A = this chain, B = another copy of it.
Amino acid sequence: MSVIDLSKQVALGIDIGGTNTKFGLVNHRGEIIVKGSISTDQYETAEVFVDALYETIKPLIDKHCDGKIMEGIGVGAPNANYYTGTIEHAPNLPWKGVIPFADLMTAKFGSPCKMTNDANAAALGEMMYGAARGMKDFIMITLGTGVGSGIVSGGNLIYGHDGFAGELGHTIVKPGGRKHWSTGSEGSLEAYASATGIAITAKKMRAEFPDSMLNSYPEDAINSKTVYECAEKGDAVAIEVFRYTGQKLGEALANFVMFSSPQAILLFGGVIKAGDFILKPAKLHMERNLLPIFRNKVKLVFSELDEADAAILGASALVWEK
């Protein structure tokens, strides 16, 4: 039997976004040894992008990981397929079609590469390093420009038969409701609870209430940050924007709880800066829509991970996943 010295193992975590790609070398305790980023959208093909990643990261590996074992590479990316290691028709990335991304990475770096979407990676990161340590059943909801999700059940991420499970942002919370600007679906959670959705709600509501402080901003300055500023100053309309958002979120969360009965739901992303303005109504409407058997059991908490590092940590957690 050989004893593995975990302190010598390192994973490369990569988070691919539409504009920038962040990466970091992470140890088993979730400490980022070194990190950096490169542009995503200036590379016309995935091949040249992988070349650029290698040119940037290889010197860092050589410098910082002397005597350590590179266990593998974990990548979080939109529309990434866990089973096949491909990125499939990602609308926000410059590379079209089905990209065999994990194979490209392995060929270049000489290490095994696992992939999943960014929200699933974030859920793994929470389970390994964050607020979900020790939990076997929880749901991670990322509330940013869009709404993503990662679902852990019985200690495993739910990938579904095709690797694309957990698109909770696109579940319908209000049939026939607000049309989504990109998918065209009507009344999805993302249409209300994303930063984009909150801006839409705020613009509608301020038009109805000329006295609202929200009317002192130009149209393009209305976002979840400015709504929060107004809510903090006591503007009733801004507070109502978040209350309405929280209600829609809470109604959706109740449905998720009755699906997989998690012990906690973790909220993550820019929108949670609204704090109790959104958390309290979300909790209220979640509980209200639950069967009694589920009530007062599910913790609704904010992520503990630093937002800047969470995506890298989550991607690296793919490497340690059993």
**Which A residues contact B (CB, under 8 angstroms)?**
79, 88-89, 135-137, 151, 153-154, 156, 158-168, 170-175, 183, 185, 251, 254-256, 258-263, 289, 291-294, 297
Contacts and interface: CB of A to CB of B under 8 A. Distances in A.
23 contacts: A88-B293, A137-B160, A137-B165, A154-B156, A159-B261, A160-B261, A160-B262, A162-B263, A164-B261, A164-B294, A165-B259, A165-B260, A166-B260, A167-B294, A168-B258, A168-B259, A171-B259, A172-B254, A173-B175, A174-B175, A183-B291, A259-B259, A259-B260
B258 A256 contact: no
Given A158-B154, A251-B172, A259-B171, A185 B289 contact: yes
Nearest to A297: B162
A255 B291 contact: no
Contacts of A175: 173-174, 251
A22 to B, nearest CB: 25
A289 B167 CA distance: 12
Nearest to A154: B156
Contacts of A158: 153-154, 158, 259-261
A293 B261 contact: no
How many copies of this chain sit in the oligomeric assembly?
A: 2
A185 B185 CA distance: 25
A261 B159 CA distance: 7
Contacts of A160: 137, 153, 260-262
A167 B135 CA distance: 21
A255 B154 contact: no
A291 B170 contact: yes
A189 to B, nearest CB: 10
A294 to B, nearest CB: 7
Given A175-B174, A175-B251, A251-B172, A262 B185 contact: no
B136 A167 contact: no
Contacts of A165: 137, 153, 259-261
Contacts of A289: 172, 185
| Most chain B CB within a 10 A radius of its CB, from A163, A175, A251 | A175
Nearest to A88: B293
A163 B291 CA distance: 14
Given A153-B153, A171-B259, A175-B251, 18 more contacts: A79-B293, A151-B259, A154-B158, A161-B262, A162-B263, A162-B297, A164-B293, A164-B294, A165-B259, A167-B293, A167-B294, A170-B258, A171-B254, A171-B258, A174-B175, A183-B292, A185-B289, A255-B255
